[in-house]
C-alpha cells in the first residue's frame, strides 16, 4: 500500500475573491466545523467550516462584481485564461491526485484518471469560441436576423464526494468559458482537493471573484438556492437530494440542473465473450469501490451462465486492498460502510446466495488497519424484487439475477425508476441493436460496463437520475449556461434626393 503523506489537521478556509476567508480561530474546533477523515484510516485530516448565509453572501457578491468584467471579455480572451489554467493543473496533477487518495480513498491510478477526465472537459471548453458562435441569416429581403449567446450571471455548483476533482470540472470550465462566474460548494467529505485547485487557478491568472468556494452542508446549499443573485444551480448527488435542490432552486426562479442516483443494469447474453465480459463486469462494479453513479449494480444473465458467474467471482476475489493501481480502496465513511453491510446482511437472510462476501476477513487482510473497508461482494438473487436488486447501494456489491429470456431482462431494466446507464454484452450486432433500442437509460454501453461518453458527447441520465433539461457537459450545458439574444435588422436605402444632399458614404 502506498505511503500517504501526513497532514496536520487544520481548518480549511473559504476562498472568496481570490483570498482565503478563515473562520475565527476562537471558534475552532466547535459545532461550526465538521471533521474531514481519511477513509483509509479513519483519522482526522482537516476540518471544514459550516459557512453561514453571511459568508455565502460575500461569495455571491464577489462573483457578481467579477461578472461585470469577466462577461464582457471575448470568448477568445476567456479561453486564453483557461488554457493557462489547463497547463497549470496538468503540472500539479500528481499533487492533486495525492489529495484525492488522502481524502477520498481511491487508488492513485484512479485518482490520476479522474484528473485526466476532468481536464478533458477543460480542454473541451477551449472550443467554446466556436461552439457558442451565433447565427446570421437574411430571413427576408433586406431583413437580417442574428442571435448571440449571453452569459446568465452567477452559477452555484454543488458537487458530491465521489469525484473530488472530475465532477466540479464537469461544470467549472464551461461556466467560465461562457462568461459566467462561479460559487462552488465542494462536498464536506472531500473539501481539500478543490481548495488546492482554486489556489492553482489563481496562480494561473483566473481573476478575483470568477471562482469562489464556500464550504458547508445543508444550510450552505439552501443559502445558495435562495440567493437572488444566483441565476442557476447545478447539483450532483443522490436522487432524493437532487429533487429537493431542483425544486428549491425553481421556487426562486432559477435555472436548475440536478443529477441524482442510479441503478445500472448489465445484460449478458449466452454468446458474450466470457473472459472480456467477466473482467469488464468486475472493473465496473469494483472500480472506485463502486462509489460512482455509472458503476454496475445488477447483472442480468439471459438464461443461466454459471461459467460467467464463476469467472466474475474468481476475478473479484483476487482483488487486494490498498491505494496502488488495481487495488481496492475504502468506502467514504462509517455510515456508508454500515449501509453496505446492511444490504449484504439482508440478502443473507433472504433466498439469495452470497457467492462472495466482502465482509469476510477484511481486517485480517489489512493487518489490523482501521478505516472503512469492505471487499467485493457478489449476490445471486432468486427474487428480482429483493431490495438490493432495486436500490442504489453505492459500494462494491454486484447483484446477479438469471433471467429466462431477453424480455424478462428488459422488463427488469425498464422497470427501475432511474435511467443513468445500461450495457449489453454480446458478440452479435443484431442483439446489441435489439437491446440498445429498448434500454431505458441515458447512457448505453455495448461491451462497456461504464459507458461514460467522452467529449464532445455529453453526460446525463434520464428519469429519476436527472431533474432539469439538458446534460451537464457538452453542448447541452452551453445552452443551460447562456441565454440567446436575437437581433433583427432592416435598413432603408436612401432616396436620390437624400443622396444629393450629401451621403457621407459618397
Buried b (16+ CB within 10 A) or exposed e, 236-272: bbbbebbebbbebbbeeebbbbbbbbbbbbbbbbeeb
Q: Which helix (H) or strand (E) holds 223?
A: helix 218-226
Spatial strand order in the sheet of 14-16: 19-21, 14-16, 211-213, 181-185, 154-158, 230-236, 255-259, 466-467
178: annotated active-site residue:
no
Number of neighbouring beta carbons within 10 Å of residue 487: 11
What's phi and psi for 205, nearest 5 deg?
A: 110, 10
Distance, in Å, from the CA atom of 88 to the CA atom of 81, rounded to the nearest integer, reads 11
Q: List the catalytic residue out of 178, 225, 288, 293.
A: 293
**What SS3 state is found at 444?**
strand
Residue 357: C-alpha distances to residues 195, 260, 362 (Å): 37, 28, 10
For every residue of 269-319, DSSP letters joined together read: -TTS-HHHHHHHHHHHHHGGGG-STTSEEEEEEES--HHHHHHHHHHHHT-
What positions carry a catalytic annotation?
293
Amino acid at each position: 500500500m502506498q505511503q500517504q503523506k501526513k497532514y496536520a489537521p487544520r481548518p480549511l478556509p473559504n476562498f472568496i475573491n481570490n483570498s482565503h476567508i478563515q473562520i475565527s480561530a476562537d471558534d475552532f474546533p466547535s459545532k461550526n466545523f465538521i471533521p474531514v477523515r481519511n477513509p483509509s484510516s479513519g483519522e482526522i485530516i482537516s476540518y471544514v467550516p459550516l459557512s453561514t448565509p453571511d459568508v455565502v453572501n460575500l461569495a455571491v457578491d464577489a462573483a457578481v462584481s467579477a461578472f461585470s468584467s469577466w462577461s464582457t471579455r471575448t470568448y477568445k480572451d476567456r479561453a486564453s485564461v483557461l488554457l493557462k489554467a489547463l497547463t497549470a493543473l496538468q503540472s500539479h496533477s500528481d499533487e492533486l491526485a495525492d489529495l484525492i487518495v488522502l481524502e477520498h480513498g481511491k487508488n492513485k491510478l484512479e485518482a490520476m484518471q479522474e484528473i485526466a477526465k476532468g481536464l478533458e472537459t477543460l480542454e473541451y471548453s477551449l472550443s467554446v469560441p466556436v461552439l457558442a458562435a451565433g447565427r446570421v441569416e437574411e430571413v427576408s429581403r433586406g431583413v437580417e436576423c442574428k442571435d448571440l449567446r449571453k452569459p446568465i450571471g452567477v452559477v452555484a455548483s454543488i458537487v458530491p464526494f465521489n469525484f473530488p476533482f472530475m465532477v466540479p470540472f464537469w461544470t467549472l470550465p464551461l461556466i467560465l468559458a461562457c462568461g459566467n462566474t462561479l460559487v462552488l460548494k465542494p462536498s464536506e467529505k472531500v473539501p481539500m482537493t478543490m481548495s488546492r485547485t482554486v489556489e492553482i487557478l489563481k496562480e494561473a491568472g483566473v481573476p478575483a471573484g470568477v471562482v469562489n468556494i464556500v464550504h458547508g452542508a445543508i444550510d450552505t446549499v439552501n443559502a445558495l438556492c435562495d440567493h437572488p443573485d444566483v441565476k442557476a444551480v447545478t447539483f450532483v448527488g443522490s436522487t432524493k437530494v437532487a429533487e429537493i435542490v431542483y425544486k428549491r432552486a425553481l421556487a426562486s426562479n432559477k435555472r436548475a440542473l440536478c443529477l441524482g442516483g442510479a441503478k445500472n443494469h448489465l445484460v449478458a447474453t449466452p454468446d458474450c465473450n466470457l473472459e472480456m465480459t467477466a473482467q469488464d463486469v468486475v472493473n465496473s462494479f469494483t472500480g472506485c469501490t463502486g462509489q460512482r453513479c455509472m458503476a454496475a449494480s445488477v447483472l442480468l444473465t439471459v438464461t443461466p451462465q454459471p461459467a460467467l458467474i464463476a469467472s466474475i467471482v474468481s476475478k473479484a476475489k483476487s482483488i487486494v486492498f490498498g491505494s496502488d493501481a488495481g487495488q481496492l480502496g475504502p468506502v467514504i465513511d462509517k455510515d456508508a460502510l454500515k449501509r453496505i453491510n446492511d444490504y449484504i446482511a439482508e440478502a443473507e437472510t433472504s433466498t439469495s446466495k452470497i457467492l462472495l462476501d466482502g465482509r469476510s476477513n477484511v481486517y485480517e487482510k489489512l493487518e489490523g488497519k482501521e478505516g472503512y473497508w469492505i471487499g467485493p461482494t457478489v449476490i445471486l438473487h432468486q427474487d428480482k424484487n429483493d431490495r438490493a436488486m432495486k436500490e442504489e447501494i453505492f459500494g462494491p456489491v454486484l447483484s446477479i439475477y438469471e433471467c429466462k429470456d431477453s424480455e424478462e431482462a428488459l422488463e427488469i431494466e425498464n422497470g427501475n425508476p432511474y435511467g443513468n446507464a445500461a450495457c449489453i454484452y454480446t458478440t452479435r450486432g443484431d442483439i446489441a441493436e435489439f437491446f440498445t433500442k429498448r434500454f431505458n437509460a441515458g447512457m448505453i454501453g455495448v461491451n462497456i460496463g461504464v459507458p461514460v461518453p467522452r467529449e464532445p458527447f455529453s453526460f446525463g441520465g434520464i428519469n429519476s437520475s436527472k431533474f432539469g433539461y439538458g446534460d451537464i457537459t457538452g453542448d447541452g450545458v452551453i445552452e443551460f449556461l447562456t441565454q440567446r439574444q436575437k437581433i433583427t435588422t432592416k435598413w432603408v436605402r436612401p432616396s436620390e434626393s437624400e443622396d444629393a444632399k450629401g451621403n457621407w458614404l459618397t
